[in-house]
Amino acid sequence: MDMKKKLYAILLSMGVLSTVPSCDYLDVVPDNIATIEIAFNNRSTALNYLSTLYWYIPETGKIGSDPGMDVGDEIWYYGDRSTDFTNTTTFWISMGRQNTGNPLLDFWNGWNHGKPLFKGLRNCNIFLENIPAVKNMTEQEKAQWAAEAKVIKAYLHFYLMRLYGPIPMMKENIPVTADEDEVRVTRDKIDDIFDYCVRLIDECYEALPLRIENPTADMGRITRPAALAIKAKMLAYAASPFYNGNTAYAGFLNADGEPYFSQTEDIAKWELAADACLEAIECAREAGHDLYEYHNTSSYDLSDETLLELTNRCKITERWTQELLFAVGGNGIRDLQVLSQPWLEANYSADDRYGNAKNGTVAPTLAVAETFYTKNGVPIDEDREWDYPARYETRQATEAEKYYIQPNYTTAKLHFDREPRFYATLGFDGSSWYGIGKLDDDDMWYIQSKAKQTSGKKSNRNYSVTGYFAKKLVNYRNAMVPASIVIREYPFPIIRLADLYLLYAECLNEASQDKGTPPEDCYYYLDKVRKRAGFPDGVRNDWRNHSTNPTKPESYEGFRDIVRRERMIELALEGQRFWDLRRWNIAVEYLNKPMLGWDIEQDKTEDYNKLRTYYIRNYSYRDNLWPLKDYDMIVNPKLEQNPGW
């Protein structure tokens, strides 16, 4: 490879040049000043450019593009037949097919369903360089738009770092006239990247609006509470064990022999994170954000059970609730809902069922089902009144349980006497499914998912492999007619207020670990989330009254276990658990287990309600950081491959 071609390859791999369809590299290094001048000629064209920056934010909730959704252990699919219904890139990663030759979901280069985030960073820099000169704009508006670009720039750096660890920061664009050595960038240390991202937000957030004043035109744009919530999450990651004193990467060194990851744990990072969380919470409150609660607008009198279920479903599926702090995209949410919705109508033909709508293929795992609390608000293996050893046996539902389980229907004991969020999040054999054309909770749908039943496996494709369905992700106002579904789309959350409350409780507890007991605010914010979920008595009372470990919330270690589990429950199926497991440095423990569910091949109750292993995963420590592409390291020898690849 001659020098000019090698230079172009490095520039292209780092997003310094736009990817264009051309066979001759000599044709794609033009002077693009005229194009940039047009892009920033006036307010309207500059706004279009700003909109493109938002496009680079990776879409959450989009199956096949969001690693948080299905690279972890919350969702599984049936074998390689997943190709029947959607892009399977993330699923292949979870099956151990990630590689260095042609990485899957490649956000470094923008290949295999990953967005080109370095190109996005380049465009952020172009915007920041040119926005000051735009005509017919006030200085205040320029400052606000620049602040949006800076927050996006910080978030893209953060997203890349979560995937790849140390990355080259793109503080400024490398000029096309740079020589070969200048464009051979090096990776930066983790702490330096965190510091830079936080500094970007600190220098601009005050220019952002407290709230969106014109929802029709501006809903979805970054506000001050969103920026501070992103900053808080960044600092929580910086303080977490994977990034804070991770000695597993002691030998992962830069050219100067310095470790990319800090090797000494610094508790002060938790203090910074806790302060940032509180600042974001106070700003969100000032802006009018609050935890969502459902208010009945139907013509039916609904039971307390159904109203609480709708609170715990609609906090996700309602558009732009007061709980939502940061969300983008939504392009994949129609598909997500179709893939999460089981067929409920018994008289649908095979042609309807296996036509265009690939229903019920997003299958939550048994691991998710067992994470939720009992009705007493404690883990199923700690509840003194709950028969944990017999959880896989069966039991018949009573009339009193009809809002959760079909009366007289027999299903696993695991499904009885669970907390309200369990029934709001998961559908299972025998469970109720409110909505989808039935708004009277005395006349609801009930799932029947044994083999050849309405919601069960009838063919070699398009079914829930575990026997569970992602009810939480489906808007109850959707409608089903033969061969089609009418979908109400919603913005999928990146950060919502409950997430921030739990993050604050976690950070504050970690910052106070030397005291041995959690500060009172830890309980206050945890209990705000638990009260909305249906536990009004407080975490300490719930443990004291029902747990085999009644003093658990009183200790630093016990509270850490509780708040982590609370995050897994409250944020279940939202793509957060995958990232949390990694930052807590326990991903190998959780993601290296067999994927379990019910035996959906069976049509008899006693046979169906037996556990079946669908896949045995092989997740190793190297999977905590995704690989760089071999070609990138050929054109830039200063880049080191991540450990283990």
**How far apart (Å, rounded) are the C-alpha atoms in residues 261 and 191?**
7
Query: pLDDT tens digits, residue range 588-636?
Result: 999 999 999 999 999 999 999 999 999 999 999 999 999 999 999 999 9
Q: Is the pLDDT of residue 377 over 90?
A: yes
Q: What is the pLDDT of residue 188?
A: 98
**How far apart (Å, rounded) are the C-alpha atoms in residues 499 and 280?**
12
Q: What is the pLDDT of residue 640?
A: 94
Count of beta carbons in the 10 Å neighbourhood of residue 502: 25
In which band, very low, low, confident or very high, does the pLDDT at 87 lie, cut at 50, 70 and 90? low
Burial tier of 386 (Cβ tally within 10 Å: 0-12, 13-18, 19+): buried
**How far apart (Å, rounded) are the C-alpha atoms in residues 377 and 545?**
10
Helix (H) or strand (E) holding 502: helix 497-511
Phi, psi of 612 (to 5 degrees): -135, 135
Q: Confirm if 592 and 619 have CB atoms less than 8 A apart.
A: yes
**Portion of the chain with pLDDT greater than 70, in percent:** 90
**Contacting residues for 618 by C-beta, under 8 A, at least 6 apart:** 96, 592
Helix (H) or strand (E) holding 493: strand 492-496
Q: Is the dihedral angle over the CA atoms 510, 512, 513, 517 positive or is it negative?
A: negative
**Contacting residues for 596 by C-beta, under 8 A, at least 6 apart:** 365, 366, 367, 466, 611, 612, 613, 614
In which band, very low, low, confident or very high, does the pLDDT at 34 lie, cut at 50, 70 and 90? low
Six-digit token string for 254: 């830069």
Q: Could you tell me where the beta strands, DSSP code E, fall in 434-489?
A: 445-446, 469-470, 479-481, 484-486
Q: Confirm if 339 and 360 have CB atoms less than 8 A apart.
A: yes
Q: Which 8-state DSSP code applies to residue 399?
A: G
Longest dimension (CA), the chain: 78
Six-digit token string for 592: 């290296």
Six-digit token string for 236: 């929580």
Q: What is the pLDDT of residue 626?
A: 98
Q: Confirm if 295 and 318 have CB atoms less than 8 A apart.
A: no
Dihedral, CA of residue 432, residue 435, residue 438 and residue 443, to nearest 10: 30
Q: What is the pLDDT of residue 29?
A: 32
**Contacting residues for 536 by C-beta, under 8 A, at least 6 apart:** none
Q: Confirm if 446 and 406 have CB atoms less than 8 A apart.
A: yes
Q: What is the pLDDT of residue 482?
A: 61
In the block, which residue shows the tokens 């007289």?
408
Q: What is the pLDDT of residue 474?
A: 96
**How far apart (Å, rounded) are the C-alpha atoms in residues 613 and 248?**
31
Q: What is the pLDDT of residue 250?
A: 97
Q: Is the pLDDT of residue 456 over 80?
A: yes
Q: Is the pLDDT of residue 186 over 60?
A: yes
In the block, which residue shows the tokens 């953060």?
158
Region 479-491: what's the mean pLDDT? 79
Region 18-25: what's the mean pLDDT? 32
In which band, very low, low, confident or very high, does the pLDDT at 196 lie, cut at 50, 70 and 90? very high
**How far apart (Å, rounded) are the C-alpha atoms in residues 276 and 270?**
10
Instruction: Estimate the share of the chain in helix, then strand, then coil, as percent rounded to the nearest 5.
Output: 45, 10, 45
Q: Confirm if 575 and 69 have CB atoms less than 8 A apart.
A: yes
Question: pTM of the prediction?
Answer: 0.93
Query: pLDDT tens digits, residue range 303-349?
Result: 999 999 999 999 999 999 999 999 986 678 988 998 999 988 865 54
Across the chain, mean pLDDT equals 91
Q: Is the pLDDT of residue 354 over 60?
A: no
> How many alpha carbons lie under 13 Å from residue 118 in its C-beta half-sphere?
25
**Contacting residues for 376 by C-beta, under 8 A, at least 6 apart:** 383, 385, 386, 542, 545, 546
Q: Which 8-state DSSP code applies to residue 173?
A: P
Distances (CA, A) of 61 to 96, 157, 328: 21, 20, 10
3-class DSSP state of 470: strand
In which band, very low, low, confident or very high, does the pLDDT at 18 lie, cut at 50, 70 and 90? very low
Region 240-257: what's the mean pLDDT? 97
Contacts of residues 143-146 at CB distance under 8 Å and 24 or more positions apart, as own/partner, are 143/204, 143/207, 144/207, 144/208, 144/209, 145/46, 145/47, 145/50, 146/204, 146/207
Query: pLDDT tens digits, residue range 386-406?
Result: 999 999 999 999 999 999 999
Q: What is the pLDDT of residue 533?
A: 98
The residue among 455, 474, 448, 467 whose CA lies nearest residue 610 is 467
Q: Confirm if 315 and 292 have CB atoms less than 8 A apart.
A: yes
Greater pLDDT, 485 or 138: 138
Q: What is the pLDDT of residue 645?
A: 97
Q: Which 8-state DSSP code applies to residue 460?
A: S
Q: Confirm if 68 and 575 have CB atoms less than 8 A apart.
A: yes
Burial tier of 631 (Cβ tally within 10 Å: 0-12, 13-18, 19+): middle
In which band, very low, low, confident or very high, does the pLDDT at 556 lie, cut at 50, 70 and 90? very high
Q: Is the pLDDT of residue 411 over 60?
A: yes
DSSP states of 78-139: SGGGGGGTS--HHHHHHTT---SSS-TTBTTTTBTT---HHHHHHHHHHHHHHGGG-SS--H
Region 238-248: what's the mean pLDDT? 98
The residue among 413, 419, 403 whose CA lies nearest residue 312 is 419
DSSP states of 543-605: HHHHBSSTTGGGSHHHHHHHHHHHHHHHTTTTT-HHHHHHHTT-HHHHHSSEEEEE-TT--SH
